[in-house]
Amino acid sequence: QKEVEQNSGPLSVPEGAIASLNCTYSDRGSQSFFWYRQYSGKSPELIMSIYSNGDKEDGRFTAQLNKASQYVSLLIRDSQPSDSATYLCAVEFMDSNYQLIWGAGTKLIIKP
Amino acid sequence: DARVTQTPRHKVTEMGQEVTMRCQPILGHNTVFWYRQTMMQGLELLAYFRNRAPLDDSGMPKDRFSAEMPDATLATLKIQPSEPRDSAVYFCASGLAVMNTEAFFGQGTRLTVV
């Protein structure tokens, strides 16, 4: 059973600080990794994708992937109240079938 | 602007009734996904299509759910007969490939079966 684990939170971070969100996955064959943001009552929207070990930066967001340790993280610098949302980690792989496994999400609260 | 469009946005129906949800993927996207989201189960992949062909629907209860793509601009998800446990938000998402897919989600259909 392939699993993706996230701390459900809520994770409370002061405005302007760095928010760090973590995700672990069970299958070493996992190939692609995604972070989605979901505001309450809205649909998920893609924040970052990462496919190889290391860091990938996009504006205030940095995704970090460590395949050896089977974790992927998302850092949000200079956190803003508008970053308050649930962050979903999704892990993609293909063996006999395509599978995209989603974590349950971490609720992030940025306090002004 | 390019976006995935889902209809209806909300649906309340009685147990046993047929429910049809529709999705218009982003023009040019060749991969369509159907998801269900509940508080208890989170996001679950129900089915996906590539170039209108169903590649996998193993996430769907086959006895009551069916998914089709009659053409490149329309995907449908049907539930017949509906049950209270089907109450959830159903999302359609589209992308340009099956692997390494950066999927774009529609606004969802909130289904309530009473």
* Residues B62-85, mean pLDDT to the nearest whole number: 95
A97 pLDDT higher than 80: no
Task: Report residue A66's pLDDT band, with 50, 70 and 90 as the boundaries.
Answer: very high
B21 pLDDT higher than 70: yes
CB contact under 8 A, B107 and A43: yes
Is A17 in CB contact (< 8 Å) with chain B? no
Give the model confidence (pLDDT) of A68-82 as tens digits. Answer: 999 999 999 999 999
Q: What is the pLDDT of residue B100?
A: 67
- Whether the CA torsion A86, A37, B49, B71 is positive or negative: it is positive
Task: Report residue A2's pLDDT band, with 50, 70 and 90 as the boundaries.
Answer: confident
Min Cα–Cα distance to chain A from B65, Å:
19
Name which of B112, B79, B98, B92 is nearest A43 in CA terms.
Answer: B92
Is A48 in CB contact (< 8 Å) with chain B? no
Min Cα–Cα distance to chain B from A60, Å:
19
φ/ψ (deg, to 5) at B85: -70, -10
Name the residue facing A31 among B55, B99, B104 (closest C-beta). Answer: B99
Burial per residue of B49-88, b for 16 or more beta-carbon CB atoms within 10 angstroms, e otherwise? bbeeeeebbebbeeeebbbebeebeebebebeebeeebbb
Most distant pair of Cα atoms in chain A: their distance? 48
Task: Report residue B102's pLDDT band, with 50, 70 and 90 as the boundaries.
Answer: confident
Distance from C-alpha of A48 to C-alpha of A1, rounded to nearest angstrom = 25
Name which of A93, A85, A89, A83 is nearest A104 in CA terms.
Answer: A89
CB contact under 8 A, B102 and A34: yes
* Residues A88-104, mean pLDDT to the nearest whole number: 83
Q: What is the pLDDT of residue B62?
A: 87
Residues of A within 8 A of B9 (CB-CB) are none
CB contact under 8 A, B100 and A105: no
Contact B32, B75 (CB under 8 A): yes
Residues of A within 8 A of B5 (CB-CB) are none
- Whether the CA torsion A39, B77, B74, B69 is positive or negative: it is positive
Give the model confidence (pLDDT) of A15-55 as tens digits. Answer: 999 999 999 998 888 889 999 999 999 999 999 999 999 99
* Residues A103-111, mean pLDDT to the nearest whole number: 95
* Residues A107-111, mean pLDDT to the nearest whole number: 97
* Mean pLDDT over the full length of chain A: 93
Q: What is the pLDDT of residue B63?
A: 92
